[in-house]
A and B are shown apart, each in its own frame.
Chain A
């Protein structure tokens, strides 16, 4: 079974600075998807970024980028120019495609952006 580990239960960052959230996973598969989801205090889970394992290029979405290290099974999220609205719980998730879309989440990292 695939496992996803987020080793930082809580982090904080000053507004406008950069922060990196860590995620490691364990799998024997070669083809899979990785995601970062954000869940603000209002509860709705929002997709931040996705990465297909077969793509070597790291995904980016505006201020959000990932460092995908397939051999090391590492998938960290970098948030640049942090904003107060980035305060949320961040979940790393792993999914094997064509397997009933079974997605597994890490325990989450609570990020607080301070003014």
Chain B
């Protein structure tokens, strides 16, 4: 099983809402990632978890709050977002020692 799943596929939220994005993998990978991707741009790294511990936070605003409850799950909690946060949010996973990352299909987020 080389699949990374993400839910929901689409999300529309107001600026005062609280919502969460979910990512799951069952490949035994110990590193998981959140990326933000704007249209026609490459993915931008937001967070990296390694062995369920946050190892990289790329100066992401606090309105984005990651959580790694276990080695298979990764959440991204959203609160008080801005319209410019509208984007495709990609989750990925990899073996901790390096190598290729496997990406999920993404969540298309629209902030109104």
Binds A, one of B14-22, B63-71, B76-84, B94-102: B94-102
Tally chain B residues at the interface, Cβ within 8 Å: 26
Q: Are B31 and A101 in contact (CB under 8 A)?
A: yes
Q: Are A106 and B42 in contact (CB under 8 A)?
A: yes
Which interface class (under 10, 10 to 19, 20 to 34, 35 or more) fits A? 20 to 34
Binds B, one of A22-30, A39-47, A68-76: A39-47
B88 at the interface (CB under 8 A from A): yes
Q: Are A97 and B100 in contact (CB under 8 A)?
A: no
Chain B residues, CB < 8 A from A62: none
Known contacts A95-B98, A101-B98; A43/B45 CB under 8 A? no
Interchain CA distance A96-B56 in the complex, whole Å: 14
Known contacts A100-B50, A101-B31, A106-B42; A47/B102 CB under 8 A? yes
